[in-house]
């Protein structure tokens, strides 16, 4: 029987007790940094390439700016109506509850896909050459969920918007960690993920486990929070290895809405 993946969250400081993130309070160039963690609990008794700061995102096109500004001018009542029309089959309300009635996401990145750099962790014990491809699969699966965000993979970390690096293990009982930052308009502007090769009790993670943790972390990176349904990859105790219909429906709804508060 496969061991379940358990997602441990840092308590929110400013966003409410149930928020699946921690606002670190770093304000630089009008950015706010967010951190989220994922853990794998072992079945039996089951360091490091530090991520570099994400590169500045490319300048948005005039069409990007027009679309984003149009969405930002939707009034609160219209936003709530759109959520009510689209909420069935999603866990968007759980995200709103966890995030103090606010939404965060990336701007549309179809013409200029987000650039992802995946580090080589071959200096770490129990490294497997398949791990980078497992991470790329996770990004690709989310981009195929019908959202206006695509990913491309780069070999130079200085060219990347998103950095994925590796740890032998974390001191805490976690197996992954995501950091992302947003601007004052709630658009995500940069991110990084760190994945461990071992649970902190030294159980080695295999390829499917790495992929599942990466799927969960990329979901956070895209703006999702936790779902209470264990059939979803974004549940706090992950028992599945692929996106559910609810995962796909929720991310599609999120990316049809402007970021920010709906109060």
Phi, psi of 184 (to 5 degrees): -70, -15
- In order of their start, the domains of the chain are 5-261 (3.40.390.10)
Render pLDDT for 73-99 as a digit per residue (tens, 0 to 9): 567 888 888 889 989 999 999 999 999
pLDDT at 167: 96
pLDDT at 31: 60
Position 39 confidence tier, pLDDT thresholds 50, 70, 90: low
Q: What is the DSSP string of 49-75?
A: -PPPPPPPPPPPPHHHHHHHHHHHTS-
Q: In this predicted model, which residue has the larger pLDDT, 125 or 202?
A: 125
Render pLDDT for 139-197 as a digit per residue (tens, 0 to 9): 999 999 999 999 999 999 999 999 999 999 999 888 889 999 999 999 999 999 999 99
pLDDT at 174: 83
Question: Does 59 score more than 80 pLDDT?
Answer: no
137 class by beta-carbon count within 10 Å (0-12 exposed, 13-18 middle, 19+ buried) = middle
**Among 52, 39, 200, 195, CA closest to 132:** 195
pTM over 0.85: no
Position 61 confidence tier, pLDDT thresholds 50, 70, 90: low
């Amino acid at each position: 029987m496969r061991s379940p993946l358990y997602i441990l969250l840092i308590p929110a400081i400013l966003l409410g007790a149930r928020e699946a993130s921690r606002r670190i309070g770093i304000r630089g160039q009008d950015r706010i940094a967010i951190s989220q963690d994922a853990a794998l609990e072992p079945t039996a008794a089951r360091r490091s390439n530090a991520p570099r700061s994400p590169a500045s995102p490319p300048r948005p096109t005039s069409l990007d700016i027009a679309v984003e500004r149009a969405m930002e001018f939707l009034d609160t009542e219209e936003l709530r109506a759109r959520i009510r029309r689209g909420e069935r089959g999603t866990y968007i309300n759980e995200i709103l509850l966890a995030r103090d009635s606010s939404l965060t996401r990336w701007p549309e990145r179809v013409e200029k896909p987000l650039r992802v750099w995946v580090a080589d962790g071959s200096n770490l014990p129990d490294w497997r050459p398949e791990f980078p491809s497992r991470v790329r699969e996770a990004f690709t699966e989310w981009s195929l969920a019908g959202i206006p965000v695509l990913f491309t993979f780069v070999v130079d970390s200085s060219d990347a918007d998103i950095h994925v690096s590796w740890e032998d293990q974390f001191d805490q009982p976690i197996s992954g960690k995501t950091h992302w930052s947003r601007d004052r308009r709630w658009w995500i502007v940069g991110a990084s993920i760190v994945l461990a090769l071992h649970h902190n009790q030294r159980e080695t993670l295999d390829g499917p486990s790495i992929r599942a943790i990466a799927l969960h972390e990329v979901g956070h990176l895209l703006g999702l929070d936790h779902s209470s349904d264990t059939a979803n990859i974004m549940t706090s105790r992950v028992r599945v290895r692929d996106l559910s219909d609810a995962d796909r429906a929720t991310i599609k709804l999120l990316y049809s809405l402007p970021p920010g508060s709906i109060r």
